[in-house]
Amino acid sequence: MSKRVINFNPGPAALPLPVLEEIRDELLNYKGCGMSVLEISHRSDTFTSVIEDAEKRLRRLMGLGDDFTVLFLQGGASFQFAMIPMNLLGGDRHADYVNTGTWSTKAIKEAKIQGKKINVVASSEDKDFTYIPGEIEFTEGATYVHITSNNTIKGTQWAQFPDTGGIPIVCDMSSDILSREIPVEKFGLIYAGAQKNLGPAGVTVVIIRRDLLELVPEDLPTMLKYTTFSEKKSLFNTPPCFAIYVVQLVLKWLEETVGGVDKIEEINRQKAKILYELIDSSDFYRGTAEPNSRSVMNVTFRLPTPELEAKFIEEAAANGLAGLKGHRSVGGCRASIYNATSLSAVQTLVDFMDGFAKKNR
């Protein structure tokens, strides 16, 4: 068996090693039931305990009150781009969107396809989405304000969430959920594909304030309504059972091994700090996001030439540092340092980058 690499992939991304080991140990016979977790019925008491524990842990970690419903859905965050306006913008309702790049752009497109009334109230397109807009004027009477909390491709992140004057924020939090403490009272809906900080691809967590469920039109197709899943506790049809099981284990790891969101936030900020310090102190590497908008999860950077970038990625991989190639739409390099990526792993990357720069000036 070949040695495991240090995984800097942007998603599907690294999972905590203790979680992978627990999956391995339980795979053939889950909790003594004589079956794999891949085989048990989603209607069984065994799986009910899994999904209920996952929800309870998520509620504790995020500080969610009873005014929020937690759903485990399929289709990825990309499906939510369409499902959110479909469910919340019936009749004459309208919403504000802030465009900070690829994922925000896709969300805007999906709302417009449906003919929904949306206002793009701010955008960072003028500087190729390298910053997060400030001083935004939101529209009176908007049903929600949609933002993407972290842009994996451009390496930008909302350091503070906007003051919307009480309009609920709807947030794509796929790439930084549970990486830092957040003011949950600002949000009406949070959604996140699991494959970055929560677990494997295949399940999407949707956290929705209960009063917003009252906006869901009755005439939507059954499988496109949030109420279908809220009324059946995510078990209207067969959910992605294995993915939910892994999410439960990741949440247990974060809660019991790491010690909670405040503890992982400290670690995440240390990881980002040493990586950005190396980039900023070098005349060889160049960060691509504006400093006050930099992501703590996805560190994007360039080298002096595309040829050196290709060499960097190749040599890093040969040294057990995987997944450092930038997104195909922008090129360059990117280190995704999600919760499961340790401080020591990032220090190993920093040491490699320092040595590579010295050898290739």
Quote the pLDDT of residue 245: 98
Q: How far apart are CA 287 and CA 290, in angstroms?
A: 8
- Long-range contact list for 16-20, CB < 8 A, 24+ apart? 16/250, 16/253, 16/257, 16/339, 16/340, 18/253, 18/257, 19/246, 19/249, 19/250, 19/253, 19/340
Q: How far apart are CA 267 and CA 256, in angstroms?
A: 15
Residue percentage of the chain with pLDDT more than 70: 99
172 a catalytic residue: yes
Torsion sign, CA atoms 52, 209, 194, 17: negative
Q: How far apart are CA 215 and CA 233, in angstroms?
A: 18
253 a catalytic residue: no
What is the distance, to the nearest Å, from the Cα of residue 361 to the centroid of all Cα atoms in its chain? 36
Q: What tens digit of pLDDT does each residue of 287-342 get?
A: 999 999 999 999 999 999 999 999 999 999 999 999 999 999 999 999 999 999 99
Measuring CA to CA, how many Å separate 141 from each of 81, 96, 144? 21, 10, 9
Query: Considering 103, 116, 158, 325, which one is annotated as catalytic?
Result: 103
Q: How far apart are CA 166 and CA 181, in angstroms?
A: 20
Q: What tens digit of pLDDT does each residue of 259-275 get?
A: 999 999 999 999 999 99
Query: Residue 2: is its pLDDT beyond 80?
Result: no
192 three-class SS:
strand
Q: Which residue has the tokens 């980002």?
A: 272
Quote the pLDDT of residue 1: 52
Quote the pLDDT of residue 361: 85
32 sits in the region (left: phi over 0; alpha: psi -120 to 50; else beta) called left
Query: Considering 116, 154, 196, 225, which one is annotated as catalytic?
Result: 196
Q: How far apart are CA 359 and CA 361, in angstroms?
A: 6
Query: Considering 116, 154, 172, 253, which one is annotated as catalytic?
Result: 172
Query: Residue 222: is its pLDDT beyond 80?
Result: yes
Ordered domains of the chain (ranges, CATH): 18-258 (3.40.640.10), 260-359 (3.90.1150.10)
Q: Could you check whether the bond before residue 85 is cis, i.e. omega within 30 degrees of 0?
A: no
Q: What tens digit of pLDDT does each residue of 103-157 get?
A: 999 999 999 999 999 999 999 999 999 999 999 999 999 999 999 999 999 999 9
Q: What tens digit of pLDDT does each residue of 142-188 get?
A: 999 999 999 999 999 999 999 999 999 999 999 999 999 999 999 99
Contacts of 55 (CB under 8 A, 6+ apart): 70
Q: What tens digit of pLDDT does each residue of 50-101 get?
A: 999 999 999 999 999 999 999 999 999 999 999 999 999 999 999 999 999 9
What are 312's two structure tokens? 């960097």
* pTM of the entire predicted model: 0.97
283 a catalytic residue: no
